[in-house]
Amino acid sequence: MNAAVTASPTRWRGIQCLSAAARFPFHPIIIRDVRVQLRSGRALRILLLEILILSVVLVMLHLTQIEPEVPYSAHASPPNPSSVYETGQIFRSTVYGANLFVALILGATLPLAAIARERSQRALEYLRLTPLHPLGIVLAEVTATLIIVAATMLFSLPLLLIAGLYGDIMLLSSLKIGWYCLLTALLIGSLGCLFGAGVKRPMRSQGLLIAFLLFLIYISGALFATVPSGNVGYFLPAFAAIQEMTQTLPPPVPIAGVALPQWLLSTAFTCFLSAFLLLGAGRKLYQPDAPVLTPAQFFIGCSICLGLVHGLSWHSHHDEWRVMFGIAAMAAVLMSFTLALPSRRVDPWPRKQAWSVAAILIVGSAALLIWHLEAPNMDTLHYATFLCIPFFAYAALADQIIALGRALFATRRQAITFAMVILVGSGVLVPLLTAMSLVPNHAHDSRERERQILQLACGMTPMPVVMTEYFVKGIAGAERDNVFKDLSQANVGQMAALALAAHLVRRWLNKRSASARHRATPAPME
Amino acid sequence: MPVIEVRDLHVQFGKVNALRGLTMRVEQGDIYGFIGPNGAGKTTTLRVLATLQELDSGSVSIAGADALTQPAAVKRHIGFMPDFATFYPSLTVWEYLDFFARAYGLRGTARKQVVDAAIELTGLRERRDQLVGQLSRGLQQRVGLARLLAHDPEVMLLDEPASGLDPRARIELRQLLRDLAGLGKTIVISSHILSELEDLCSRVGIIDRGRLVAEGTASEIGRQMQAGNSYVIGVAGDAAIARQTLLSLPGVMTTTVLDGRIHIQTDATHADPGDLVRALVLAGIRVVECRKEESGLEKLFLSLTEEGGSS
């Protein structure tokens, strides 16, 4: 009996994770969902709809009296190359568009409906008693959807082959579009999982589904179709698919001298974002009231975004790879915070923080490697310090402040308010007011004064917003000396000291309340 | 060592105290009946035992594992069937059980063997390829029990498993639970169908307003609550005169006339019904019926919970 209770050795945990990853295709949720979907015939109905649409298009194409090209026919009249090409283009685009539409619909409906149904039927309680991890469950729901989407695309292959009558079927382009469709289903399915995990009542899930379908318009990237810049395809796979269909591809993005294709960047971004959404969904699955982001994450996320915007707007000219790089790095840092920040009952310091450091170091190292290849003369160690330590220190500080708030106050709202006041106060108001009082007022050179205030405030604040701002400026290749000079003022030390103080106070409070509870509780009766 | 040990359990929902210092022990192989009125805290207790509900204070230990610090270990030892059991209607019985066997990490032939054994034990062999959604409520409950067996738990927690079942299905369910107890499973079952628990359970706990007000076998609780005896005497003629006669006897505590019969409560020292009959005959009253009144679990339950309510 006790053997079952004994935890497996920690050193085998990595191997267990690898083993679990290898077994993931046989995840019970995937098998069940695919089975149920095939049995219910929902995918089949959608496929029939797709075939119907394509048939209508085909009939309309014939009504335009454009003859398909029949190879090796001596009696055929010579085809008009441009019109044949256009017909093939229209037909291919219709097949691809139908596939994209199916991916959008299935991605939006299946995971959301599956999770909402599990919750409304209280079936999640069964799952909660099994060793299945919530993140694994949501991941499996999305994977099952991807399998269904891939199956519908395979079924549309014969229709695509008809396009061969009008010329080339453009195999590489078709594969790319298929891949973008899967990425779209992944992104939207992840979002659906997140929404579904927060639903408590079935009626609400139906309303949510309708709202979600409207939201798809934005996700599909159709609204950006009129924007001159083609960069949206780097982020939204659906838009990338449209670009591929219409052959309006943006140029490849050079990073470290290597031209990265759009599909690779789109895949990376979609995976980053989906992972982030699925982490949130996994967190909310068993506790729908739990926030997707903890207050500290939200705070840090907002700060980073703000810093990113400031940093990017600093220079009128910047290369696209720099933007991409900055966003990817920030997404990675955000993800690591998601892993790092503690749940309600866990002491914030131990293992999760170690994972946080590891994640940040890995991302930082990768970034530095690329950076080093791009500009070998830069001080790599300086960048490493710059990239990793302040963020980690700030995460630790935010954790401790929030934990302290929970120990001090009875309600969660009070605790969060307390933490916000402390963090915003220490991060923005105090440094800014101090800097404003220290820098003399020169009416004739207000710009110079603003610069000095900002520089001084940056040296005092633990806010990641300024660090991010300087980070992006550093990427843009300007004011590197100033960046390091500011950072060398070591606000990391301030953050560490604050975090330690908060930690000690919280421990003391917890100890005191535990002893009070012990005195109040009578001894158990034997 | 008890398989389930609960000490001083407190659970609060907002301002409502769902459990107030609940303490209980369940031994290996017991069928433990958990009885209480609506809102007494039965479901909350079972959910705490199943690690689905956080507790505010107290301790819960199942098969030596602490529910608070080792929830994963506790989950390996328990199987929980909620009061509103739900199923995946589009799966067949075999697929449904296979799903949970997979979820518990069983693989290959071991998984198939476990699923087949669960189907066999619960008598679902002929239904294995039928969709769960097409089964009757009684058969679905059987599927629910088979699901619990997917990972061979030591402890089975059943919340109102007989609700919504017809009499025949209830009898079958009882037999099935006896069979499972015969296999060494410890079963905790909550129900409002008190008469059924009386026959089924080896031990019974009565809960009211988050506290266990009585615990033991049904007869133990009866003795605990009633120091004396109850008798029913039927007389030909005026029951009121007979009632006055009986009240004048030593040891007779209360008398009540119901449906023409006199219900008498005596203390422990005067338990001889012969004295009661003799006194009535000497008073010229013809006795047509005299029997000892058995104290059922239902009556005990009502008396215990009413007492709690008046305090």
Instruction: Return d(Cα B143, Cα B136) in angstroms, integer.
Output: 10
pLDDT at A460: 56
The HSE-up count of residue B187 (CA atoms within 13 Å, CB side) is 29
pLDDT at A512: 67
> pLDDT-based confidence at A191, cuts 50/70/90?
confident
pLDDT at B94: 92
Q: Are A301 and A218 in contact (CB under 8 A)?
A: no
B79 vs A contacts (CB less than 8 Å)? 129
Q: Which residues contact A255 (CB under 8 A, 6 or more apart)?
A: A321, A324, A325, A370, A374
Terminal Cα-to-Cα distance of chain A (whole angstroms): 24
Share of chain A above pLDDT 90, in %: 4
A286 vs B contacts (CB less than 8 Å)? none
Most confident listed range (A32-46, A90-104, B285-299): A90-104
CB contacts < 8 A, A to B, total: 75
B185 and B87, same domain (yes or no): yes
Q: Are A241 and A178 in contact (CB under 8 A)?
A: no
B289 and B150, same domain (yes or no): no
| pLDDT tens-digit map of B10-67 | 988 877 888 888 888 898 888 998 888 888 888 999 999 998 888 888 889 998 888 8
Weakest mean pLDDT among A181-195, A204-218, A261-275, A458-472: A458-472
pLDDT at A427: 63
Domain with residue B73: its CATH number is 3.40.50.300
Predicted confidence (pLDDT) at residue B295 exceeds the cutoff of 90: no
Instruction: Return d(Cα B44, Cα B58) in angstroms, integer.
Output: 14
- Phi then psi dihedrals of residue B158, to 5 deg: -120, 120
Among B78, B86, B90, whose Cβ lies nearest the Cβ of A36?
B90
Share of chain A above pLDDT 70, in %: 36
A248 compared with B39, residue with greater pLDDT: B39
B109 compared with A248, residue with greater pLDDT: B109
Residue ranges of alpha helices (H) inside chain B are: 42-49, 71-77, 93-103, 108-121, 137-148, 167-182, 194-200, 218-225, 239-247, 273-282, 297-310
Predicted confidence (pLDDT) at residue B168 exceeds the cutoff of 90: no
**Closest alpha carbon to A236 in A278, B277, A227:** A227
Element (H, E) at B66: strand B65-66
B252 and B113, same domain (yes or no): no
| B301 falls within a domain | no
Contact A130 B104 (CB under 8 A): yes
Q: What is the mean pLDDT of residues A87-116?
A: 81
| Number of compact structural domains in chain B | 2
B204 and B122, same domain (yes or no): yes
**Closest alpha carbon to B276 in B304, B251, B305, B240:** B251
pLDDT at B186: 92
A524 vs B contacts (CB less than 8 Å)? 7-8, 23, 59
Instruction: Return d(Cα B174, Cα B171) in angstroms, integer.
Output: 5
Most confident listed range (A63-77, A428-442, B72-86): B72-86
Which residues form the domain of B256? 227-294
Terminal Cα-to-Cα distance of chain B (whole angstroms): 34
Contact A35 B95 (CB under 8 A): yes
Predicted confidence (pLDDT) at residue A260 exceeds the cutoff of 50: yes
Residue for token pair 């009696």: A75
- Nearest C-alpha in B relative to A30: B99
B50 and B96, same domain (yes or no): yes
Among B23, B86, B91, whose Cβ lies nearest the Cβ of A525?
B23
Q: What is the mean pLDDT of residues B92-104?
A: 92
Instruction: Return d(Cα B262, Cα A145) in angstroms, integer.
Output: 72
Chain B interface includes A8 (CB < 8 A): no
Tell me the C-alpha to C-alpha distance, in Å, between residue A131 and each of A22, A127, A137, B76, B225. 17, 8, 11, 8, 44
Among A28, A125, A525, whose Cβ lies nearest the Cβ of B102?
A28
| pLDDT tens-digit map of A262-312 | 788 788 878 877 887 888 888 888 876 665 655 445 545 544 544 444 444
Most confident listed range (A279-293, A349-363, A467-481): A279-293
Domain end (from B221, B246, B270): B221
| B303 falls within a domain | no
| B308 falls within a domain | no
Instruction: Return d(Cα A243, Cα A305) in angstroms, integer.
Output: 27
Q: What is the mean pLDDT of residues A189-215?
A: 68
pLDDT at B270: 60
pLDDT at A396: 59
Mean pLDDT of chain A: 65
Contact A121 B86 (CB under 8 A): yes
> pLDDT-based confidence at A366, cuts 50/70/90?
low
Among B52, B73, B87, whose Cβ lies nearest the Cβ of A5?
B73
Q: What is the mean pLDDT of residues B266-295?
A: 78
| pLDDT tens-digit map of A121-135 | 778 888 888 888 888
| B252 falls within a domain | yes
B149 and B246, same domain (yes or no): no
B141 and B199, same domain (yes or no): yes
Chain B interface includes A24 (CB < 8 A): no
Judge if ipTM > 0.85: no
| pLDDT tens-digit map of A372-396 | 555 544 444 444 444 555 555 566 5
Domain with residue B273: its CATH number is 3.30.70.100
Q: What is the mean pLDDT of residues A107-126?
A: 82
Predicted confidence (pLDDT) at residue B308 exceeds the cutoff of 50: no
pTM of the model: 0.63
> CB atoms < 10 A from the CB of A305, how many?
15
B211 and B279, same domain (yes or no): no
| pLDDT tens-digit map of A404-462 | 676 666 666 676 677 777 766 666 666 667 667 767 666 566 666 766 666 666 655 54
Domain end (from B170, B192, B221): B221
Burial of A214 (0-12, 13-18, 19+ CB in 10 A): exposed
Contact B63 A28 (CB under 8 A): no
Instruction: Return d(Cα A463, Cα A372) in angstroms, integer.
Output: 27
Q: Which residues on neighbouring strands pair with residue A117, listed in sequence order?
A: none
A122 vs B contacts (CB less than 8 Å)? 82, 84, 86
DSSP at B84: S
- Phi then psi dihedrals of residue B100, to 5 deg: -75, -35
Residues of B with CB under 8 A from a CB of A: 7-8, 23, 50-52, 57, 59, 63-65, 70, 72-73, 75-80, 82, 84, 86-88, 90-91, 95, 99-100, 102-105, 147, 154
Most confident listed range (A224-233, A305-314, A505-514, B151-160): B151-160
DSSP at B78: E
| pLDDT tens-digit map of A137-149 | 999 999 999 998 8
| B20 falls within a domain | yes
Torsion angle of the four alpha carbons B208, B211, B217, B223, in this order, in degrees rounded to the nearest 10: -80
Domain end (from B184, B201, B221): B221
| B311 falls within a domain | no
B134 and B279, same domain (yes or no): no
Q: Are B88 and A32 in contact (CB under 8 A)?
A: yes
pLDDT at A525: 38
A129 vs B contacts (CB less than 8 Å)? 50-52, 75, 78-80
Q: Are A211 and A300 in contact (CB under 8 A)?
A: no
Among A2, A31, A40, whose Cβ lies nearest the Cβ of B64?
A2
Strand order in the sheet with B65-66: B16-26, B4-13, B57-62, B65-66
Q: What is the mean pLDDT of residues A181-189?
A: 91
Burial of A172 (0-12, 13-18, 19+ CB in 10 A): exposed
B182 and B233, same domain (yes or no): no
Weakest mean pLDDT among A172-186, A447-461, B216-230, B250-264: A447-461
Chain B interface includes A343 (CB < 8 A): no
Among B57, B76, B103, whose Cβ lies nearest the Cβ of A28?
B103
B157 and B64, same domain (yes or no): yes
- Nearest C-alpha in B relative to A132: B103
Contact A32 B99 (CB under 8 A): yes
B129 vs A contacts (CB less than 8 Å)? none
- The tokens describing A9, both together, are 């050795």
Contact B99 A31 (CB under 8 A): yes
Q: Which residues contact A203 (CB under 8 A, 6 or more apart)?
A: none
3-class state of residue A377 by DSSP? coil
A493 compared with A56, residue with greater pLDDT: A56
pLDDT at B93: 92
A34 compared with A388, residue with greater pLDDT: A34
Weakest mean pLDDT among A71-85, A344-358, A461-475, B216-230: A344-358
Residue ranges of alpha helices (H) inside A409-445 are: 412-424, 430-438
pLDDT at A26: 84
B210 and B254, same domain (yes or no): no
| B147 falls within a domain | yes
A307 compared with A193, residue with greater pLDDT: A193
Q: What is the mean pLDDT of residues A59-82?
A: 55
The distance of A45 to chain B (nearest Cα, Å) reads 17
Distance of CA B229 to the CA centre of its chain: 25
| B133 falls within a domain | yes
Contact A129 B78 (CB under 8 A): yes
